[in-house]
Amino acid sequence: RREDLWVREGKILNPEKLFFDEKGSADVQLDCKGSIIAPGFIDVQINGGFGVDFSLATDDFKSGIDLVSQKILSHGVTSFCPTLVTSPPSVYHQVLPQINVRNGGAHGAGILAGAHLEGPFISKEKKGAHPEHCIRTFEAGAFQDLLATYGSLDCVRIVTLAPEIKRSSEVIRELTKRGICVSLGHSVANLSQAEEAVQHGATFITHLFNAMLPFHHRDPGIVGLLTSDKIPAGRRVFYGMISDGIHTNPAALRIAHRAHPSGLVLVTDAIAGMGLAPGRHTLGQQVVEIDGLNTYIAGTKTLSGSVATMDACVRHFLEATGCSVETALEAASLHPAQLLGIEHKKGTLDYDSDADFLMLNDSLYVQATYIAGEEVWRQDVLGM
């Protein structure tokens, strides 16, 4: 739409009320020079970046998270879920108390809903870049096991687990009861196991196609959830995709998008090496080698996260699928907000929602980033 965006006190305003009820007008007017205004991006799977690894327990962990939240503003991310890969319990116990839900602002993107814990209750066969010696199963008191491993769920928003693990059903039910989103991933689950997990409350799939059984026509596995007829009425299954041109072939991206467009959530799965030169970096307990856009566990060809930024993922998704600009932008804003249950305030430009938005040029490069109506980042030369 070609129209003005009205903002007051950090919220998007309905201008009709201002005109007719208050007889008011704008105090400040900004010429956007024909830019696209879009909701701020929300990254629900980011392991770190710019030399910071969220899965490493360090004394200056808070300054690391501050650095990443500041740097991702230039890539259009206004909210994120810091993600920890499979780690020893001591790491969760040290790191999680240091992750605080907070609003975004000039200091950086907001941590709106909490952390994403990817593991350690996953399949050894599909561990990907996760260290095998840290992978765990559920014992008799399954949920108590999980609590003992993580230490606390106070600032946890998403847990990725493998639904075929024994006793996972009761864990999924308990997490869902507490408002925590359960994601299926790093798994050898068949379709009926995945459907059962969704019936117990799971709503997300961690990086579709990666670290799961490949699609097979007789049993499509977790991928089959995209077209399953066993999803409870009124429920939507969302799925993350790393749209970096490396993790998923463009044809696979197109298949997923055409099968279930309203569930697609773009994630970066970015690691500490994002924004840095190629070479050796970390991902939790592992050493990772970056070669161009490829990231491998050192000495192997096992992919380990990405170094893609969210705006690059949006542009690649648009190009690969040929979808509309609106659709590409919604996959990084509206859909993650719906997944987290915060679409009433984030992920749209609807009246009364938070004024977290971006100015983009026609090629979807970020020109400026706003949080709560305040400019928090701007490209030095507009139009570059």
Q: What is the pLDDT of residue 23?
A: 83
CA distance 98 to 123: 28
What would the mean pLDDT of 276-304 be, rounded to a whole number?
93
* Residue 16, φ and ψ in degrees, nearest 5: -60, -45
| Residues annotated catalytic, as ranges | 269
Annotation-wise, does 141 bind a ligand? Answer: no
Q: What is the pLDDT of residue 383?
A: 45
Annotation-wise, does 211 bind a ligand? Answer: yes
Q: Are 117 and 95 in contact (CB under 8 A)?
A: no
* Domain locations in the chain as residue ranges: 39-344
Cis link prior to 131 (omega < 30° from 0)?
no
Say whether pLDDT at 316 is over 60: yes
Cβ atoms within 10 Å of 363's Cβ, excluding its own: 8
CA distance 329 to 37: 10
What would the mean pLDDT of 104-121 be, rounded to a whole number?
96
What would the mean pLDDT of 74-90 be, rounded to a whole number?
98
CA distance 123 to 190: 13
Annotation-wise, does 299 bind a ligand? Answer: no
Annotation-wise, does 207 bind a ligand? Answer: yes
CA distance 126 to 206: 12
Q: What is the pLDDT of residue 22?
A: 85
Q: What is the pLDDT of residue 17?
A: 86
Q: What is the DSSP letter of 354?
A: B
How does pLDDT run across 189-226, given as a tens digit for each residue?
999 999 999 999 999 999 999 999 999 999 999 999 99
Annotation-wise, does 218 bind a ligand? Answer: yes
Q: Which CATH superfamily is domain 39-344 in?
A: Metal-dependent hydrolases (3.20.20.140)
Give me the amino acid identity at 47: N
Annotation-wise, does 247 bind a ligand? Answer: yes
How does pLDDT run across 322-369, given as a tens digit for each residue?
999 999 999 999 999 999 999 999 999 999 999 999 999 999 999 999
Say whether pLDDT at 384 is over 50: no
pLDDT band at residue 21 using 50, 70 and 90 as cut-offs: confident
Annotation-wise, does 129 bind a ligand? Answer: yes
How does pLDDT run across 29-50, given as a tens digit for each residue?
999 999 999 999 999 999 999 9
Average pLDDT, rounded, for the chain: 96
Annotation-wise, does 304 bind a ligand? Answer: yes
